Amino acid sequence: MAILLGSIPPEERKEVLLIHPSKRTPEPESYVVNLHDVDPLLTTFTVELTDAGGRPHRGLAAIPLDAVRSVWRRDPTHWVIAVAGAFTNTLAGRLFDP
């Protein structure tokens, strides 16, 4: 997955749709994120959480590469990353819980 995530062109790393199972409903939840970094040595990728307008506002979240289930292009310039796990609110901010 690191190779696939790393191959997303820099200009297409904004407004990536990140989907994951919901802990509350049978429908998946989604966030619009900016793909910040892919680090195969740390086995993580980092996303910048954004608000509804695509502006960064919730900080960075690291997600394990082995949580990635699928990556695909949804149109010529936008991508989708499906992961297993969900975000959890903590005192330190939003953390990804695989």
Range of the domain at 55: 2-86
HSE-up of 2 (CA within 13 Å, CB side)?
Answer: 12
Q: Is the residue at 8 inside a domain?
A: yes
pLDDT in tens, 66-86: 999 999 999 999 999 999 998
Residue at 37 is within a domain: yes
Q: pTM, whole model, 2 decimals?
A: 0.87
**pLDDT at residue 28, rounded to an integer:** 87
Residue 52 has pLDDT above 70, yes or no: no
Question: CA-to-CA distance for 70 and 80, rounded, in angstroms?
Answer: 8
Tell me how far apart the alpha carbons of residues 22 and 11 are, in angstroms, rounded to a whole number. Answer: 29
94 belongs to a structural domain: no
Residue 54 has pLDDT above 70, yes or no: no
Residue 4, phi-psi category: left (phi > 0), alpha (psi -120 to 50), beta (remainder): alpha
> Is 81 a member of any domain?
yes
Does 29 fall in a domain?
Answer: yes
Residue 97 placed within a domain? no
Decide if 11 is inside a domain: yes
Tell me the per-residue pLDDT of 29-49, one tens digit each, with 9 for 90 and over: 888 999 999 999 999 999 988
Domains contained in the chain, number: 1
